[in-house]
Structure 1
Amino acid sequence: MRRQVTLFIKRIHIYGYGRLENYQLDFSPGVNVLYGENEAGKSTIFSFIHAMLFGFPQRSQSAPSYEPNGGVKYGGRLTVELPDNGEIIIERIKNTQGSECRVYQDGRPIGSEQDLQELLKGVDRGFYESIYSFNLDGIQEISRLNEEEIGRYLFFAGISGSERLWELENGLQKQMDQLFKPSGKKPEINQKLTQLKESSRQLQKAIERENEYNQFLERQEQLSKSIAENRALLEESKDKLVHLRDWKRLLPGIQELSAINSRLRELSEGHFPAGGIKRMDTIEAERLAKETLFKSQSSKLAALKAERQKITYNDQWSQMESAVHRMERVIDNWEVQEGEIKAKSIELEHIEARMYKLQDELHMNLEEARIVSLDTSVFRKEEIKQLELEMRTLQKRKSELDSQFEQEKIKLEQLERTLAVYESKLLPDDERARLEERYKAFQRSLGLGGEKEALETLERLKNRREKVKGAERKAVAKQKQALGLAGLLIITVSILLIIVSNMLLGLGIGLGGILLLFLFKQLMGSQAKSSELDEEILYFEEKVAQSSRSFEGRGDIGLTERLLMEDAQIRDQYEKGLVRKEQQEEIFEGLIQAFEKWEREKQLCERRLIALGNEWSIPEEISQSMLSEAFERLESMKEIILEKNRIQASINEAKNVIGTHKAKLENLAQIFDVSADQPNKREIYSLIKQKLEAALRVKSESIRLEERIHDLTEELEPLEEVCKRLMAEREKLLKEAHCTSITDFYQCGKEAEEREQLLAAKRQLMIQLGDFADTERYVSASAAELDDQISGEEDYCSSLEQLIETGRKELAAIQYDIKRLEEDGTVEALQFNHQKLLEDFEDMSRKWAKLAVAKGILQETIQKYKNERFPVILNKTNEYLFYLTNGKYEKMLFADNGAGLMLQDYNGGFIHARDLSRGTAELAYVSIRLALALTIEGRNNLPLMMDDTFVNFDDRRTERVLSLLRKIGQENHQILFMTCHQKIKENFTPQEVISLMR
C-alpha cells in the first residue's frame, strides 16, 4: 500500500528566476487561473514550481535554466501545506558553489534535500510531469495508441513517473538474445561454449606431460610460503625496531612530562579566580581615583549653595513663560482658523451644488439621512456585478439557444420532407394485400415449398458437386503417386529376392497387393460420392422444370415479388425515419423547455435587480439597465454628504477654537496686569511679553546656580555608589580566593599562574608524545637499555633477510626448471585461458539468468497492474468523456484486431482516434490524463498543472471542461491553470483568476 500524498501550494516567492525578480503570488485551494499575455511569466512560474519541488533544470537537459541576469540571487521559496506536517517552506538557492535546498517549518530549519524527498513520499520530477503536469503535446500520439500500449504506459507512469522501465523491458529480450540463442553462433555465450570445448581438448593433451612439472610446482609453492612467512616476521621486527627508536628519541620529553606531573601533585588545586591579580589591580586603581574626586566635588557644592541664598525673584510671572510662548502660536492659529472658516464656507457651497446635480441625474430627492443609511457595502456592489454578469450570460445563452433552435428546426423539417417522400412511394394497403395474396398462392402451388427454395437447393448441390469433383481429382493424383510407390516397392522386393532367400518373395508380393487394393477402394469410394450428387441434382432440375411448366402464362410473378420487396424496403426506411423524427422532436421539445427555463431565470434576475433598485428608491427602468451606474452615483452622494458634514464640523470646530483662544488671552492679560480692552490682540500680547522677559532675566541666574548645584549633587551620588561598589568587589575577590589580606591574595595568584603554565606545557607534551604519553610505562627505561634492545632487534632483522635471500635463489632455480618444462608456456597459458573462459562463461550465464528472471517478474507485474488498475482508469476516462461531450461519445475502447483507440458514439457507432476532429481528440486526451491523475494509487491528491489545454474547444465544451475542473477543485484537488485567452478567463470568478502583467 503506497503512502498517500496530499500537497497544497499556498505561495511562491521568487528571488530571481528568468526575468522575474522579487516576485510573490498566493494560491488558494481549488482552481487557480494564471491569466496573462504571452511573455507575462506563465511558463517561468510553471518551471519555478517544478524547480522548487525537484531541483533546478540541469544544463544537460533540453529545458531552459531561467538563470537571471545582473547578479540577482537565483532561486526562491515555495510555501506548501502537507496533511501530516502542516505548512512548510521549501527554499532553493543556486550560486557558483552549487545548489542549496533548505526546508523550514514555523521559522526554523527542519531539513534539506533528503528530508524534502521523504516529505514528498518518493514523488520525483519525472513522475510529477508525466501524471500531473501536462499540455497538448501528447495529442499527436493518441491516434495510434492501442490497449496494450496505453496499459503499459499507465503502468510505468503510475510506478515510476516515466517510460524508463518500459524501455528497460523492451531492451531485456534484446540483451538476452545478444548473450545466448539455442541455435545461434554470434551470441557471446554460444561463442564461449565453442571456445571452452576447444580449450578443454588442448588442456587435456598438456596435462599428460605434467608429472615432473607438478613436483616442481609443489616445491615452488613450499618455497613461496616460507619466503612469505619470513617476510611477515621481518616486517613485524622492523615495526618493533621503529617503535624502539621512537621511544629513545622521545625519552627526554617523557622524563620532562613525568617531572611536570610530580610538580602538579605538589601544587594544591585552589579556587583562585581566573585573572584574579589583574582584576585586583584594576579595582584598587579605580577606587583610589574615585575617592579623591569625591572629596574635591563636595567642596565645590558647598560654595554654590551659599551663593544661591543671596538671590530672590518673582516666581509667579516666570512660571508663565511657556504659556506666554504658547499664546504667540495661539494667536497665529487664531488667524489661521479665521481664514479656514472663510475657505470652508466657499467649499461647502460647491459641494451642495454637486449634490443637487447627482440627485437630478437620478430623478431622486432623498433626504441626506436616508442616503447615508443606504447599504452601499462591497458585498452589495459584488452582488450587483454578479447579477449583471448573470444577465449578460443569459443574453449570451439566448443567442446560443436561438441558433440551436434554428438548426434543430431545419433538421426536423428535413426529416418531415423525407418521410413525405417515403410515404408517397408506399403501396396502398389494399394493393399490397392483393399482391401478397397472389404471391402466397404461387408459393402454395410449388411442391418443394416454393420455386425460390428449390433453386437455392439446386445451387447448393451444384456447388457441393464441384467441391467433390475437386477432391476426386486430388485423390486420383495421390493414387497415381501411390501406384508409382508400389512399383518402386516391387522393384525393391525383386532386388531383395536376388540377394537373400525366397521367403522374402511372398512378403514383397503381399505388401504390393495390399497397397493396390487400398488404392482401388479409395478410387471407387470417391466415384460413388460424385455419382450420388449427380442423381440429386437431376431430381431437383426436373422439379424446377415441372414447376415452371405448371405456371406457364404467369411470368409476371417476378414483378410481383420485386414490388413487394421494394415496398418492404421503403416501409423499413419510413419506420426508421419515424423513429428519427421522434428523437428530433424530443430534442426540439428540450430546446423549448430550455427557452422556458431561460425566461424564468431572466425574470428572476430582473426581479432581483428591481428589488435592489427599490431598496435604494431607484426607478425600475434604471434598475434594469443602469443599476451599476446608479450604485456608483449613490456612493458618490454618500461621499459628498460625509464630506459636507465633515466641512461643517470643521467650521464649527474652528469657531470653538477661536473662542477658546480669546479666553486664554484675556486670562493671561489679567495675570500680568495688562488691559484686554484693546481691539488689537497683537498689542496685548506685546505688553505681556515685555513683563515676562524682565522676570525671566532674574530667574535665569537663579536657575543657573540651581542647575550647577543639581549637577554636582547628581555627580556626587554615583561617585559615592561607585566607591562602595569597588570596595564590595575588592572584598568579594578576596573571598573567592579564600584570602583575608591583599598580600595573601597576590601569593595565591602566583601559585595559580604557575599551575596554569605547567598544565599548558603538559598538554603540549602529550600532543608531541602521542602513545608515549603514558609516563608510568615508558619513563622507567634508560637510554642504555633502549640501545641494547635496538641492537638485538637489528641482528634479528639481518638473519631474517639472509633466510629470505637464500629461499629466493632456490625459488629462482625451481622456476627456471618449470619454465624449461613448459617449453613455450603451453601448460600455464592453457590453464589460465581455460579458467578465464570458465569465469567469463559463468558471469555471462548469471547475467543471462538475471535478465530472464527480471523480464518474467516485470511482465507478470505489468499484466497484473493492467488487469487490476487499467479498468478503473478506463471507467473514470469514460465517465469524463461522456460528460465533456454531453453524451455524444459514450465510451473509449480498443479494437480486438489491434486497430487502436476508438470512441463509441450515442448511436453505437465507432470512430477511430485518427478520424476525430482536433477538439474531440483533445477531449479524449484530457479525459485520459485527468482519469490517470485522479486514480493513480496512493498519489491522487497532488496539484494539477495545465498550460492552455482547452484552446481548440468550442464554447459549450469549454464550459463543460471548466465545470469539471471546478468539480475536481471542490473535491480537495488544487489546480493551477495557465492561459492567455480572454474567453477562458471570463468563465472564472475574480477570486479564481490571478492576472499576470507583462
Structure 2
Amino acid sequence: MKLEQIRIDGFGVLHDLTIDLEPDLTVIYGLNGSGKSTLLNFIRSCLYGFYQRSSIQRYEPLRGGIHGGSLCVATDQHRYLITRTQARRSSGTLAIENLDSGLSLPEAYLDELLGGISQSVFESVYAFGLTELNQLKLIDNQELNTLLYSIGLGSSISLADVNSRLVSEMDSIYKPRGRKPELNRVLEQLREITVKQREVEHVTGEYFRVIKQIETVRREVDAVRLTLNEKNKESRRIEIMLEVWPIWQDLVVTQQRLDQLPEHNLPLNGLERIEKASAELERISQACYKAAVKLGFELDLSTVNTAVYERLQSELTLLKEQHTDFELQIKVTDERCAQAEIECSDLEQQIAGIDNEAKIAAGDEYDYASRKQLFEQLKSLVIKQDQPTNIITTLVLAAGLVGWLAAALVFYSSNHDFGVWIAAGTFLLLVFVLGSVQYSRSKAVGKRGRTIRDLALKLGIQDLDRELLTFEQVLEREEALVKEKERLEQNLRQLRARAAVYRNNLEDKRREEHELIQRFSELKEQYQLPSGLRLTDAEAFLEATAVLPRLLEEQNHWEQELDTIYQACGTTDHDKITMMYRVQSERETLAEKIARLEAVLQTYFGSKYSEAAALFKELDKAALVSQYDVLNGEVNSLEEKLNELQHELGRLTNQKETLEQSQKQEEYQLEKALLQAKASKLAGRWGSLKTCQWVIDEVSRKYERERQPQVLQRASRYFSAITNNRYTRVYAPLGMRELKIETAEGEILSPDQLSRGTVEQLYLALRFALAKQIAHERVKLPIFADDILVNFDRPRLLRTVKLMKELGKEHQIVLLTCHQTIADLFEPNQIRYLSQRANSAS
C-alpha cells in the first residue's frame, strides 16, 4: 500500500492542508512549530482513531476546520480514500471509499488494508520519531519478538527457557547428594526393603512347597479347560453340521443339475437387444417415410449427402431466426406506433377539454389577456377609491391649524387688533383652500366611478362588492388552464415526432423483411426445394431434413448390433437363439441358488466352511450322529475332572493364606519389584532429559555460528552499510531475547555499549528490516520518520540517505525534518515544504 495524498481539515496547528507524496521517497521540511510531529500523529489517528478527549495527543483543531481529514492510498488493484472526522465517539467516524468503483466499504476493511498490523506495531515500526527511535518498545512487543528472535522455522520458543526447564526437571528427579528428588527417595526405600528381606529369610520351605503345588494345579486346570474348550467347539461344529444337513443336500442336488446343462457364451440380454434393434430399424423406416412425405420426394438413406443437408439446414436456420427477429421487431414497432397514436389522441382530447372549460369561464367577448388587463385596471381604481383623504388636504388642515395658533399668540400679545386681522385672514384662506380641494376631489371621484362602472360592464360584473373576488378566482383558474394547455401542446408535439420516428422504423423493418424473403427464394432455387415452400414452413422443413443424418447413423448402429449378436450366437435362427437363452437363464437361476445356499452355510461356519465341506463329502449323516455322541461323553468326563482340580486348588489356596499370615517375604518382594521398576523408569526419564540438554547445547552453538532470523540478517546488512562495515553482524544468542553486535574485529558488544548515534542507527536498521519482513509476509506499508537523522555524523548521514533511497525504490518512505541541510541531500521533486503557520504546502 502506498500513500498518495494527505488532506487535513483541522488537526492541532494544521488546517486546510494538502500534501501530495512521491511513490518512493518524500521529504517534508518545516521549521520548529510548523506541525511536522502533528502531521505524524495525524497519520496515526487517521488509521487507528483519535485518542481520548482528555489526551494531549488528540490534537483538537487550533486554527479552525473540522477535526480530522483523509488519506488517499493505492494498492496494486485499487485506490481508496480513508476519511476520519470527529463524532460522538472519541475515536471519530471512519469512512472508506473505493475511488475506482465509487463504493463505500465497511470500517473492518481498513484492517485488511493494513494487513492486520496493530497500532502498537505501526507506531513502533512505521510511524516513529527520535524519541521512539531511542526506546526499546519494539523489542518488548510480542508480535515483533517472533520476527526478531525466532530461529527462522516459524517458532517463537526460547531454547534458553527450554534448557532451564530441563535442568529444573532433572533436579526434581535426581541429584547426586540430594534427598528430596524422587529418584533419591526411591533408592532409599529400596535399601530399606533389602534390609527387611534379610530379617525374614528364616521362613520355612512349607510356604514355597505350597506355592509350587498351586502352580502345578493351575497348569493342570488350564490344560483341562483348554481341552474342554476344544471338545466343546468340535461338538458344536458337529451339531451345526447336523442342523444344516438338509441345506447341504439341496446344494449337492442343485450343483448336479447345473453340471448337466450345456454352457453357452452368449451376449448379455441378447434377446432383448435383438427385439430392440428390430423395433428401432422399423422405427427408422417409418421416420424415413414421414420425412419423404414432408419433403415431397422419396428417400433412400444410402444416398443421403450429409454435408449438403447440413449446409442447407445451417442457411435455413439462419434465415428462420432472422425472419423471426424481423417479425418480432415489426410487431413491437407497430405496437409502439399504435400506442403513440393513442397517446396523441388522448392529449388532443385533454387540450380540447381545456379549451371548452376556458370558453365556459371567459365567454366569447374577450380573450384571457384582455380580460386580465381590464381586471387589473378595475382592481387598481377600486383600491384608490377606498383610500382616505389625500395628503394635500392633510397639509392644508395642518397649515390652518398653525395659522390659528399664530393668531392666538399675537392676540394675547400687546397688539390685539393685528391678531384679529391675522386670525380672520387665515380663516378665510383655509375656507378657500378646503373648498377648492373638495371640489377637485369630488370631480375626480365622479370620473373614477364612471370608469369603474364602464370596466365592470365590460367584464360583466354587476355587483363589485360581491363579484370582484369571485371574478379574480375565475381569472386565476383561467391562468392555470392556459399553462396546462401549453404543457400538453408541448407533449403533443414531442409525441408526434416520436410517432414519426416509429413509422419510419416500421417501414425500414418491412423493407428488410422483404429482402429476407427474396433471399429465401434464391435459396429454394439453389437447392431445388419445392416452389411452394414458404419461409414460415422452414421450421417443419428443417425438422424433416434434420433427422436424415441421425437416421442414417442409427440404422448403421442397429444393423451392426444385430450382426454382433448373430455372430456371438453362431446362428440367425431366432428359435435356436431363444432356446439357447432359455438354457442360459436356467443355469443362471441354479447358480444363484447355489450362491444363496453357500452364503447360508458361510454364515454357520465362517472361515471353517471349506473344512466343513470336506467333512460333509467324507461322512454321511449316521457317522456324524455317532461322532457327536462320542464327543459329548468326552466333554462330561473333562467337566468332572475340572471340578476336582478346582476343589484342590481352593484347598491349597487356603493353606497358602494361612502360611502368609506368619511371614512378609512376598510383600517385600513385590514392593521391591515395584520400587525397582519405578527407579528404572525415573532413571530412563533422567537420561532422556540429559540427552535433550546435550542436543540443545549443540544446537545453540551451531545456531549462533550459522543461523539467524531473516530480520536480523537483513538488519545486519543495513547496519553494516550505514556504519561502513565497522559493525558486521547483529544477532540474537539462541534462547536469549537480547541483541548482540559484532564488530569488524570480532568484538561482541551489547546495545548499551554503543554511542547514542550508533544505537539510533542500529534501531533504524532493525525497523527497516522489520518493515521489509512484514511486507514479504503480510502487507507493505509506508514508513514515516520524524527527524531521526539529527544525531548522525556526516559520513553515516550520507550513507543512511543512500540506503533510504535504495529502500524507497521498493518501499515508500516519508521523512519529516526541520534541518535544511538534511532536506538538501534529496532530490528537489521529493521535498515538500510546511509554512511557518502550518496551513499550506508546496
| TM-score normalised per structure 1 | 0.38
TM-score by length of 2: 0.44
